[in-house]
Amino acid sequence: MTEDTETRATGEAAIRDVVSIRLPADSAYLSVLRTATAGLAARLDFTLDEIEDLRIAVDEACAMLLNEAVPGTDLTAEFELTGQEMQVRVEVATVGSSAPKRDDFAWMVLTALADDVDAVTDAADRMAIILRKRRGAARPA
């Protein structure tokens, strides 16, 4: 786990922490990420509803990735906390997989619970989902 803190140019202290977690790419360990997600979101004063939305979104993103993960490898999660926003990047090693399907139910759940969602394949053997949630952001009705 690492944390980096920056200060704004105005001299005013700002939260910018980066927390990384690496664990086996196995659904048995997802409770660790859900707990970490809730704790970090609480640190940013997210509401209980926002925390629960983010926990569910991280769980769903991990479930999507675990379907494509190479057995015996790791899932990495990087949480970036900046002021009123949390960005979560979850990533696994894959075997030639493309990005997750954006037209299935799991993707719709992600986009409903997080403010921004993206899927990236930086390399042929890696897949990641990036979620962003802002404190107090109004969701469309």
Per-residue pLDDT reduced to its tens digit, 34-75: 999 999 999 999 999 999 999 999 999 999 999 889 999 999
Banded pLDDT at 80 (limits 50, 70, 90): very high
Q: In the Cβ-directed half-sphere of 110, how many Cα atoms lie within 13 Å?
A: 27
Measured CA to CA, the distance from residue 129 to residue 52 in angstroms comes to: 18
72: left (phi over 0), alpha (psi -120 to 50) or beta: left
Banded pLDDT at 121 (limits 50, 70, 90): confident
Across residues 96-115, what is the average pLDDT? 85
